[in-house]
Amino acid sequence: MNKPDKENINIEIKLLLEAVFLKYGYDFRNYSQAHVKRRIMHRLSVSGCENITQMIHEVLYDQSFFNKLLLDLSINVTEMFRDPSFYQALRQKVIPNLKTYPFIKIWHAGCSTGEEAYSLAIILKEEGLYDKVQIYATDFNQLVLKKAKEGIYPINLIKEYTYNYQKSGGLNSFADYYNAKYDSVIIDTELKKNIVFADHNLVLDGVFGEMNLIICRNVLIYFNRELQDRVIKLFSDSLVHGGFLCLGSKENLRFSKYSNNFLDVEKNEKIYKKVAFVNESKSV
């Protein structure tokens, strides 16, 4: 059998993504082509399928195969207090402003299995804000949302998470926030009470309330420029005037057509503030 050329593989990938969208409603068509191709080729290598065209058939007629592919295409790289310097900046640059509000609404978009949402809850608790906060932690993948709601993580990760917590400016002992049981740890139920884990798809769904803070870190890097702009506008429309947007270390608003909607708060940590008046018609 002749080795498929690059053009044919790219066509097959487009057809596969179209099949996923039409059959299940998940839209990966505007994700970064390099990311999508890498994940699909990985699934092909372990699937037993001879080619991507055969994978299309499996996606259409085998729900379990689709679930595996969905996990491949999802962005589930996360950890407690990931990038500790970001959390330090959050304490110093954002928390003082949030303390001026009687009630605070926060959207953690692309929360994956929940580690970073719980990290945020810990900071808010230590800063005396947790009782007047509602956190909406969202993802489009029901499997990872289930894990996030459970808040159960492998105990072998705790040493790394404790280090991250300490580097982030943690005020207590990290052990105060979980209970160890066998080979796992369970997040303290007090940290769960003001978190709503919910299904929301950044690609397809609309505005998510009027938020004081939106955190979406290390998600936009997997989107193409068109989809990045759509999501940044979604965030702008979802924030109150003066609300904060936090992105990942490799993401920024510089090339977005909506960059003028925001001011830099902490440039190195990609923390931005929505300006009081935005020009929705601005374009590049």
Interatomic CA distance for residues 275 and 257, integer angstroms: 15
Q: What is the pLDDT of residue 88?
A: 97
Which pLDDT score, from 0 to 100, does residue 1 have?
Answer: 44
Domain that holds residue 238: 84-274
Question: Looking at the domain assignment, is residue 261 inside a domain?
Answer: yes
Whether residues 178 and 216 share a domain: the answer is yes
Q: 100: phi > 0 → left, psi -120 to 50 → alpha, else beta; which?
A: alpha
Q: Is residue 42 part of a domain?
A: yes
> pLDDT digit string (tens) for 14-72?
999 999 999 999 899 989 888 899 999 999 999 999 999 999 999 999 999 999 999 88
Whether residues 123 and 188 share a domain: the answer is: yes
Residue 283 located in a structural domain: no
- Indicate whether 59 and 88 sit together in one domain: no
**Same-domain check for residues 123 and 240:** yes
37 and 99 housed in the same domain: no
90 and 62 in a common domain: no
Return all residues near 204 (Cβ < 8 A) that are at least 6 apart.
25, 27
pLDDT at position 278, please? 53
Q: Are residues 60 and 164 in the same domain?
A: no
Domain-located, residue 103 = yes
Residue 51 lies in a domain: yes
CA distance 10 to 53: 11
Is residue 104 located within the same domain as residue 28? no
Q: Looking at the structure, do residues 103 and 128 belong to the same domain, yes or no?
A: yes
Please tell me the total count of domains within the chain.
Answer: 2
pLDDT at 277: 63
Q: Give residue-wise pLDDT tens across range 90-111.
A: 999 999 999 999 999 999 999 9
Residue 232 lies in a domain: yes
Integer Cα distance of 59 and 69 in angstroms: 8
Residues 52 and 107 in one domain: no
Which of 23, 39, 73 terminates a domain? The answer is 73
Same domain assignment for residues 161 and 25: no
Distance of CA 116 to the CA centre of its chain: 9
Per-residue model confidence (pLDDT) at position 209:
83
Within 10 A of 103 (CB to CB), how many other CB atoms are there?
8
* CATH value at residue 251: 3.40.50.150
Give CA angle at 129 (92, 208), nearest 5°.
Answer: 90
CB neighbours (10 Å) of residue 29? 16
Asked if 189 and 142 sit in the same domain, the reply is yes
Mind listing the pLDDT tens digit of every residue in the chain (284 residues)? Answer: 455 578 889 999 999 999 999 999 989 998 988 889 999 999 999 999 999 999 999 999 999 999 999 988 887 779 999 999 999 999 999 999 999 999 999 999 999 999 999 999 999 999 999 999 999 999 999 889 999 999 999 999 999 999 999 999 999 999 999 999 889 999 999 999 999 999 999 988 988 889 999 999 999 999 999 999 999 999 999 999 999 999 999 898 988 999 999 999 999 999 999 997 655 444 33
Q: What is the pTM of this model?
A: 0.88
Q: Is 196 within a domain?
A: yes
d(CA 262, CA 47): 44
